[in-house]
Structure 1
Amino acid sequence: MRKRLERISILMGYLRDFAVEGLPAPILGVNNEQTTNALVSKTGPQLVAAYPELSHTGNSDCYTETLQSVFFVLDKSLGATRTEVSEFEQYMGLMKLADAILTKIERDTSAESCSPLGGLTLMTAKVAPEGSIFGGWCGYSIEVTMK
Structure 2
Amino acid sequence: MKKLFLAATTALMMVSLTTGAYAAKFKFPSDAPVAAVTIPDDWESGETESGVEATSPDEAVYLSIDVADAKSIDDVMDDAVNWLGEQGVTVDASTSKKTEDKLNGKDIIYVEWDGKDKDGPASIGLAALVLNADTILVLTYWGTKGEEEKNTATIGQILNSIKEQ
Query: Normalization by structure 2: what TM-score?
Result: 0.38
Q: Please identify which structure carries the higher helix content.
A: 1
Q: Please identify which structure carries the higher strand content.
A: 2
Larger Rg: 2
Query: Normalization by structure 1: what TM-score?
Result: 0.42
